[in-house]
Amino acid sequence: MADWKIPQLNQEKCVVCGICVDVCPQGVLALQAEEVIFARPQECTYCGTCEESCPHGAVACSYEIGWA
Amino acid sequence: MDIDFAAIEIFRDLPADMITAIEGFSQLKLVPPDTPILWAGMECTAVYFILEGRVDITRLSIQGREQVLERLGKGEAFNLVPVFLGKPLNPADAKTIGPAELLVIGREDFLRLLDRYPVLMHALAAYLAKRLLSMVGLAERLALFPVRQHLAAFLINQADAVGEDVARYWTQEDIARRLGTVRDVVGRTLRRFEQEGLIRFQREHIQLLDREKLQSLADGRE
């Protein structure tokens, strides 16, 4: 199990449009066998670009809120 | 059953004999993540107490927008209000976030316990009063606060509650449902807060940097 957090991908909402794959600045996501996968999860910086770009709300980053 | 009744706010200060009686009417229920527990408008058959895990209390508009009324954690209770209504219908939907362990007492049994133990009725009244105040605060924020103000208040409340076993992780969609808005607006507002130096994104953490300015924003002074 990876000790870094990656965004959650809801396969039921995902229509495999590939937008998140295109916009990810680190190339973490990939299309494989008609599915979006985290091909290089260790490269994910949790920037939230995939979540913001998904038109179907299929990607979600969760955050813990606290004082610095 | 080995139930930690002291973990439940309403039962915390009750004497042992009363706890034994309550235990006799209680059932334990383990609920998987993202599982609906209650639907608004259905008949109220039981009250629920959270021993472990978290539960979202929500209402759905006709347009399909979901409003999170409360995100409850360990020690909290829900579906208490319809117990006292002539036509007992669940007022809201309830759904687990992660895995949850609930203590369930049937409506009729709960009413019998309240009849038998005035101390329990007092504890329940105090708890309901606290929750009502929280709902009044939410109604005020939804009706009167712009998103920036509402979001600042939400962030402060969450950050101050760390360690109190409240819901810890929030997605932007969750926050939007809590604030009665949409994800894009929450995302844009958080980014603006970041540009203004009020918060910082650090991987899965949103760190609040400037209490004074955030509080000023939450109070509507900015």
SS3 letters for chain B? CCCCHHHCHHHCCCCHHHHHHHHHCEEEEEECCCCEEECCCCECCEEEEEEECCEEEEEECCCCCEEEEEEECCCCEECCHHHHCCCCECCCEEEECCCEEEEEEEHHHHHHHHHHCHHHHHHHHHHHHHHHHHHHHHHHHHHHCCHHHHHHHHHHHHHHCCCCCCCCEEEHHHHHHHHCCCHHHHHHHHHHHHHCCCEEEECCEEEECCHHHHHHHHCCCC
Residue B221 touches chain A, beta carbons under 8 Å? no
- pLDDT, residue A2, reads 52
Shortest alpha-carbon distance between residue B165 and chain A (Å): 12
Domain coordinates in residue numbering, chain B: 5-135, 145-218
Residue B164: the pLDDT is 58
The domain total for chain A is 1
Tokens, residue B42: 């259905």
CA distance B125 to B162: 26
CA distance B26 to B66: 31
Domain assignment present for residue A13? The answer is yes
Query: Does the residue A24 lie in any domain?
Result: yes
Which tokens is B5 given? Answer: 């009744």
Chain-chain contact of B158 with A61 (C-beta, under 8 angstroms): no
A46 within domain boundaries: yes
B163 pLDDT more than 70:
no
The answer, for A66 touching chain B at a CB cutoff of 8 Å, is: yes
ipTM over 0.90: no
C-alpha A45 chain-centroid distance: 10
B215 touches chain A (CB under 8 A): no
The answer to whether A58 and A16 have CB atoms below 8 angstroms apart is no
* Residue A44 maps to a domain: yes
Report whether pLDDT(A3) > 80: no
Tell me which amino acid residue A63 is.
Y
pLDDT in tens, A18-62: 999 999 999 999 999 889 999 999 999 999 999 989 999 899 999
Is the CB of residue A27 less than 8 Å away from at least one CB of chain B?
no
Q: Residue A26: give the domain boundaries.
A: 8-60
A62 interaction partners in chain B (CB closer than 8 Å): 169-171, 174, 204
The one-letter amino acid code at B196 reads: E
* Lowest-confidence pick of B16-25, B66-75, B139-148: B139-148
Q: What is the mean pLDDT of chain B?
A: 91
What's the pLDDT tens digit per position in B60-97? 887 777 888 988 999 999 999 999 988 889 999 999 98
The dihedral of CA B97, B98, B104, B110: what is its sign? negative
pLDDT score recorded for residue B64:
77
Q: How much is the pLDDT for A1?
A: 44
Q: Do B195 and B188 meet the contact criterion of CB atoms below 8 Å apart?
A: no
**Quick check: A63 and B173 CB within 8 A?**
no
Select the CATH number that applies to the domain covering B145-218 from these four: 1.10.10.10, 1.10.1060.10, 3.40.190.10, 3.40.1010.20: 1.10.10.10
Segment B87-108 mean pLDDT: 93
- Residue B106 tokens, joined: 């049937």
- Give the pLDDT band of residue B3 (cuts 50, 70, 90): confident
Q: What is the pLDDT of residue B182?
A: 87
> Chain A residue closest to B160 (CA)?
A66
Residue whose tokens read 């959650």: A8
Q: CATH number for the domain including A35?
A: 3.30.70.20
Give DSSP secondary structure letters for A34-56: SSEEES-GGG-----HHHHH-TT
Question: B149 CA to chain A: closest CA distance, Å?
Answer: 17
pLDDT at B15 > cutoff 70: yes
Residue A52 touches chain B, beta carbons under 8 Å: yes
> What superfamily in CATH does domain B5-135 come from?
Jelly Rolls (2.60.120.10)
Q: For residue A40, what are the CA distances in angstroms to A11, A35, A45?
A: 18, 15, 11
Examine domains B5-135 and B145-218 and report if their fold is the same: no
User: Are the beta carbons of A66 and B211 separated by less than 8 Å?
Assistant: no
pLDDT band, very low/low/confident/very high, at B161 (cuts 50, 70, 90): confident
Q: Is B204 on the interface with A (CB under 8 A)?
A: yes
A2 touches chain B (CB under 8 A): no
